Amino acid sequence: MSSIPNPKECLVILKKCGCSEEVIKHCLAVRDVAVRIAKKANADVELVEAGALLHDIGRSIPHDTPHVIKGGKIAKKLDLPEEVVRIIERHIGAGLPAKEAKKMGLPERDFLPETLEEKIVCHADSLIDNNKKQKIDHEVEKAKSEGFNEYAKRLVALHKELSEICGMDLNNI
Ligand SMILES: [Fe+2]
């Protein structure tokens, strides 16, 4: 298994895989927020930075396969470290348990962030709309309006959990 790629290497990987400028801009915005959270939370900043930069690697080629699945496959092929692969595979906002995953067209297994670093990248992604910072309430309201009430609750819970770890409301990070 290779070591965690540095930011420059991550950008080379994204480009090599054919990610658009738009996707790369989004990944950079998520990285900025994720790194700020990681520092506050005393998490593994190197891992969070690589995971955030590479989280949407599966959005490189338009594909029928959901991007987290595609991303996981690409990351494994590239021999990226297991902890980076896990971030890529599990970054569905606040996560989805198997039943909800199936409803959304994903394989019937848990897509729930478990480690602190996985949670941070997932949440940073929820705090970024395209490439702009947004309050979590925006994402929560969107989920509710689409009928994903359990998911909305998990977003709120993850926001609270990470805000407590960081000692601040992450809407203001
Ligand atoms: Fe994303």
Q: Write the pLDDT tens digit of every residue in 41-77.
A: 999 999 999 999 999 999 887 666 788 888 999 999 9
The rounded Å distance from CA 55 to ligand 1 centre is: 6
pLDDT tens-place string over residues 72-116: 999 999 999 999 999 999 888 888 899 988 888 889 999 999 999
Burial class (CB in 10 A: 0-12, 13-18, 19+), 49: buried
What are the Cα distances from residue 167, in Å, to 4, 164, 172? 28, 5, 11
Q: For residue 164, report the distance from its CA to the centre of ligand 1, in Å.
A: 23
What single letter denotes the amino acid at residue 168? Answer: M
Which residue type is seen at 104? Answer: M
Residue 3 Cα to ligand 1 midpoint, Å, equals 23
**Residue 31, CA distances (Å) to 51, 64, 141, 167 in order:** 8, 26, 24, 20
- Global pTM reads 0.94
Distance 109 CA to ligand 1 centre (A): 20
Cβ proximity of 151 and 141 under 8 Å: no
